[in-house]
Amino acid sequence: MVNWNAARLLEAAAQTESGPEFLMAIADSIGSFAQEVKESLARIEELLKDPVEEERSNWGVGARPEAIVRRVRLDTPGVAVQGPNVSIPRGVVSVIRQRRHDASRNGYVATNERDVSSTGSRVEMQNNDTVVLQVSNWNKVWFDSDTATTDFELIAEQ
């Protein structure tokens, strides 16, 4: 829809001595504004992209991991073992399940080496028990057990 008042104003401005320069300045301003809008929209689109850490984005073009699965095996009872150095995307929870054991069934999970050996600050687990934690990296989780060959499965899925 054309605003006739604005059109008449532009026509009148063009008839003056400085009118063409004035109209060119308006056109330049409009062009600069359009460029700023394009750059702002590009920044907004970049910020709205899914925040996947760099090491997680190398799965191929268009591919994203649906799940991350690792296993921690405890070979020596009473010796705390740190989880693997695997970054977990923001907002994804980790499910830790105790699996496979010999004799004694107790396994332990904590968020630091000291607590995994302390009865009041750890999660005690038996075969097929699970615990859900939200951590940024599995190396922040520590494991121990009462017997050798106790496995823990670490699962993070979207």
pLDDT tens digits, 47-60: 777 555 555 544 44
Both tokens assigned to 91: 């907002």
* pTM beyond 0.85: no
Q: Is 134:156 a contact under the CB 8 Å cutoff?
A: no
Q: Could you tell me the CA-to-CA distances from 86 to 70, 73, 106, 126 in Å, in that order?
A: 9, 16, 25, 24
Say what angle helices 19-48 and 4-15 make with each other, to 10 degrees.
Answer: 130
Q: Is 146:109 a contact under the CB 8 Å cutoff?
A: no
pLDDT at residue 57, rounded to an integer? 47
pLDDT at residue 102, rounded to an integer? 60
End-to-end C-alpha distance for the chain, whole angstroms: 49
Q: Is 83:143 a contact under the CB 8 Å cutoff?
A: yes
> In which residue ranges of the chain is pLDDT below 50?
57-60
Sheet holding 123-125, edge to edge: 81-82, 142-145, 107-110, 123-125
